[in-house]
Amino acid sequence: MPEGDAIRRLASTITELFAGGTVVASSPQGRFAHSAALIDGCRLQCVRVHGKHMFIGFVTEGEGQGQGQCEGEGEPILERWMHIHLGLYGWWRFNGDETVVDEGYGVAHRVPPVPAGEWNGHSETRWGCGFGEAAAGTWEPPEPVGQVRFRMYNTHAVADLIGPNRCELITDAEREAVEARLGPDPLEVGARDDEEAADCFARTAHAKKRAIGEIIMDQSIIAGVGNIYRADSLFLAGISPHRKGKNVSVKRLKELWVLICDLMNRGLAAGRLETMDPKEAPNPPLVGDEEASRWYVYHRTGRPCVRCGTPIREALMQNRRLFWCPSCQR
Ligand SMILES: [Zn+2]
């Protein structure tokens, strides 16, 4: 399942490709047809992310002003939000004309078109998804492939939403209600030094009798953490995932908050979910254990811990795979 950093990368891409302009919207698969018709012709005003939830704000032309902003004084209250949760299998797929470059990992951005006559025959597309083949102005979105729940496009780019767990049109009050049910988000600007957010997380987690490995996957306590960040943040904090929340001190939980903020922000900046500090990565890389260059314990069942050599353990916790080092984590 994409974790919070991946959702933010997708949100940045959608903002860059569509914010401030009108979109043509549809539901090729049909299951979102009624709502897509209400979005069709609207201007995409902004994209918000809270944890793994994405909210795309639309206004009808003429309403509102500015682009890509949804907060701050003088900004209109958006009454039309598209609420998306990708779940385990959902994803966005982008395509576009020569001005749209795909960087992979859900990142695409726009570059100035190559002037006529200077085209060297090579697309700037690094990951080869067929972007950049049509000159700006002549491009048309390709036929949707697979079960596309929602499609929006403008004159340069198209975004297809495939297999989301949740996709609905909601009001501003409904968006607020969804966000109110979510815990603090480590990727929110300033979250690392936000005493209130750290305290909220630490005190809520400390009040629980459940295992800390369950607690940090509970989106109502901390929003955006998934399986990889769970495994490796608990490893770095030295806390066993089976330890009950009430048996971890508030001070250690606050340190865990900072650690999760740092890890997730690093993943967001790097554009991929890798938690390993390059200084600790096995050198040379371990053959047959490529994960050891990317993660500490995630997906490394039975292999030696990079710090102590103890074989990494695996178990199921709430039907998700859990990884930990029984020596480093107590
Ligand atoms: Zn270890």
Give the Å distance between the CA of 239 and the centre of ligand 1: 11
Give the Å distance between the CA of 189 and the centre of ligand 1: 32
Give the Å distance between the CA of 291 and the centre of ligand 1: 15
255 is catalytic: no
Query: Residue 110 — pLDDT band, cuts 50, 70, 90?
Result: confident
Active-site position among 2, 164, 184, 241: 2
Beta strands in the chain (DSSP E): 24-26, 43-50, 53-59, 80-85, 91-96, 100-104, 107-110, 148-153, 157-162, 166-170, 313-317, 320-324
Say what the pLDDT of residue 189 is: 94
Is residue 160 located within the same domain as residue 204?
Answer: no
Q: Is residue 185 part of a domain?
A: no
Instruction: Please say which residue of 180, 202, 227 terminates a domain.
Output: 180
Give the Å distance between the CA of 311 and the centre of ligand 1: 8
Is residue 159 located within the same domain as residue 16?
Answer: yes
Please check the confidence at residue 120 and state whether its pLDDT lies above 80: no
pTM of the model: 0.88
Q: Is residue 186 part of a domain?
A: no
The torsion angles phi and psi of 294, rounded to 5 degrees, stand at: -115, -40
3 is catalytic: yes
Say what the pLDDT of residue 132 is: 58
Is residue 238 located within the same domain as residue 278?
Answer: yes
Q: Interhelix angle for 227-237 vs 250-270, to 10°? A: 130
Please check the confidence at residue 122 and state whether its pLDDT lies above 70: no
103 is catalytic: no
Q: Which residue has the tokens 């967001």?
A: 268
**What is the average pLDDT across 42-49?**
95
Q: pLDDT (tens digit, 9 = 90+) per residue, 80-99? A: 999 999 998 999 999 888 78
DSSP 205: H
- The alpha carbon of 27 is separated from its chain's Cα centroid by a whole number of angstroms, namely 23
Query: Residue 105 — pLDDT band, cuts 50, 70, 90?
Result: low
Number of domains in the chain: 2
CB burial of residue 330 (10 Å; 0-12, 13-18, 19+): exposed
Q: Is residue 330 part of a domain?
A: no
